[in-house]
Amino acid sequence: MCSQHPSEELNKKRHSAAHLLAMAIKQIRPDALFGIGPVVDDGFYYDVETAEPLTESDLKQIEKRMKKLIGQKISFERSEMSISDAKEKFSALGQKYKVEIIDDLAQGGETIVSIYTSKDFADLCRGPHVENSGEIDASALKITRLAGAYWKSDEKREQLTRICGILFDTKEELDAHLTQIEEAKKRDHRKLGKELDLFTFSELVGGGLPLFTPKGTLLRDLIVEKIQTLQKKFGYQKVTIPHITKKDLYETSGHWAKFGDELFKVKGQSDQEFVMKPMNCPHHTQIYAARQRSYRDLPVRFMETTMVYRDEQAGELLGLSRVRSISQDDGHVFCTPQQIESEVGGIVSVIKDFYTSLNMFNDGDYWVSVSVRDPQTPEKYLGDPTKWDVAEKTLEEIAQKENLPYKRVEGEAAFYGPKLDFMFRDAIGREWQLATAQLDFVMPERFGLEYTDEANSKQTPVMIHRAIAGSLERFLSVIIEHFAGAFPLWLSPVQIAVIPVSEKFNDYGKSVCDALSEAEFRTELYDQSETLGKRIRLAEKEKMPYILVVGEKEVADKTVSVRSRDNGDEGVVALTSFISKLS
């Protein structure tokens, strides 16, 4: 999730607020040892270790002290110090985590570090900060919560306490954000997933490994089926790959050097090392490479919805948002350079149709990041810089031709190529990156992929990576919260609840279910031995798009009494008319 991109000035205020947070903590816990205190999407945090643990009851006192410091208009004075002097200074202060950071900087080749001092408090920090704390609006600040955080995200290291705060430019913006947080709590996909019986987790299975119920599995299948139906007309073909591979595959692709620490290693009876696949694209290159290809065969389009595995830290796992088993809606196109525009155009068309069916592709509800290299860090990217130039220019031209509301964003490219990242705003204003189309000149070269052109010469194809929903788990977490569990009709696992007034009308209720099922609607008969009111409330709690109540009059007239989730009581209609309307 990300909020509106904060301005540079707001980030400076948030960075300065983190510094003030450390000062306030030091006042109530003089023994505090400080880890890191970065800016995040809506504010800042600081990781600390104290002899006596901080508790929720300390948060108000910390906030009060911070606001007092803001009122004192404390300056942030920058100075530089050699690595050795800085290590000596923070060692004398007993700040072992700062000393470790300094050692890491030294190993990375740094010789000078910057220190920011406010009154008698000094902190190792790159900055920048505001001139003085008076530039921060104290009424727009709130310390919100405590959390646990392993030092350097390493479960084998010390567990620190993370104190989180929110800061905006004005109190009005803070209040709006707090309202959004409260609404988000009501929509929390972990809570709704349990209430709607969509998925569960098991200690015996392990963290980050969700188990989907029949309703949750149907929800996943409906999403996959929708995407596959939309892209069928563009010539995509299903493929299937294994879940493990030799590490050689990822050494060739470049993923091993970048993400080797995040992979699950597997060993069989031999000494050969395998890994659980963390992505599918290298496997798909091998299906392409299995036979000779001519320019007449291109484009070759593969699609697959399959699971990949990443060894995420336990502290970073969060419901379906961050998991270790990831079901990817994946697709790869191998084409000539001349075919790039039409192929990416087809992907954009599928994205548009899919998100329109979710009512999320409206003006103002989405924008597109043309994600390109960071020119300051060329070492992060593989391949020929001139081909990167071509790829970035091509994607930006496609964004223009497709009339996409786009911005060019540096530093967000994949290590193998630039991307069109589709950013969607949900019902409560949060922003999520979901669909993507990525242009890759690198991997086909690394794998030696070829096709024969019109002149019978060997050429290297271009590879286009595409995802419409991306990770199904993360996508589900987003749309469960976006719809607050009240999915559109086509996506609801159960579309219609049929509720007989009493047991003697169960047979008619079942015949209504049968007629609806024959018309290909998903129905459920609520014939439990509960009161009518209780059964209606249960169906409403389960967010049914339609509830049909049947009693003596409905049996006699072959009608149903219709309650719509969106419109309430819609009156009594003939069953045939109701089916015709929905169809």
Q: What is the mean pLDDT of residues 146-155?
A: 87
Pick the catalytic residue: 29, 310, 430, 466? Answer: 310
d(CA 449, CA 289): 6
Pick the catalytic residue: 95, 328, 433, 495? Answer: 328
Instruction: Answer yes or no: 330 catalytic.
Output: yes
pLDDT in tens, 506-535: 999 999 999 999 999 999 999 988 999 999
| pLDDT at residue 4 in the model | 52
pLDDT in tens, 365-406: 999 999 999 998 988 898 899 999 999 999 999 999 999 999
pLDDT in tens, 421-448: 999 999 888 899 999 999 999 999 999 9
Q: What is the mean pLDDT of residues 126-142?
A: 93
Instruction: Answer yes or no: 281 catalytic.
Output: yes
pTM of the model as a whole: 0.83
- Count CB atoms within 10 A of the CB of residue 42: 23
| pLDDT at residue 1 in the model | 38
d(CA 563, CA 567): 8
Which of 241, 70, 210, 194 is closest to 140 using CA atoms? 70
pLDDT in tens, 6-42: 788 999 999 999 999 999 999 999 999 999 999 998 8
112-118, strands of its sheet edge to edge: 77-82, 112-118, 121-124
Helices (H), 402-456: 442-446
- CATH 3.40.50.300 given to domain 199-482: no
- CATH 3.40.50.800 given to domain 494-582: yes
Instruction: Answer yes or no: 19 catalytic.
Output: no
Radius of gyration for the chain, computed over Cα atoms and rounded to the nearest angstrom: 28
Pick the catalytic residue: 465, 466, 474, 543? Answer: 465
Strand-pairing partners, residue 80, are 114
Q: Is the pLDDT of residue 270 over 90?
A: no
pLDDT in tens, 465-511: 999 999 999 999 999 999 999 999 999 999 999 999 999 999 999 99
Q: Where are the domains of the chain?
A: 8-180, 199-482, 494-582
| pLDDT at residue 457 in the model | 96
d(CA 306, CA 490): 23
- CATH 3.20.20.100 given to domain 8-180: no
Instruction: Answer yes or no: 185 catalytic.
Output: no
Pick the catalytic residue: 329, 330, 440, 527? Answer: 330
Whether 494-582 and 8-180 are alike in CATH topology: the answer is no
Instruction: Answer yes or no: 255 catalytic.
Output: no
| pLDDT at residue 3 in the model | 42
Instruction: Answer yes or no: 446 catalytic.
Output: no
Instruction: Answer yes or no: 310 catalytic.
Output: yes
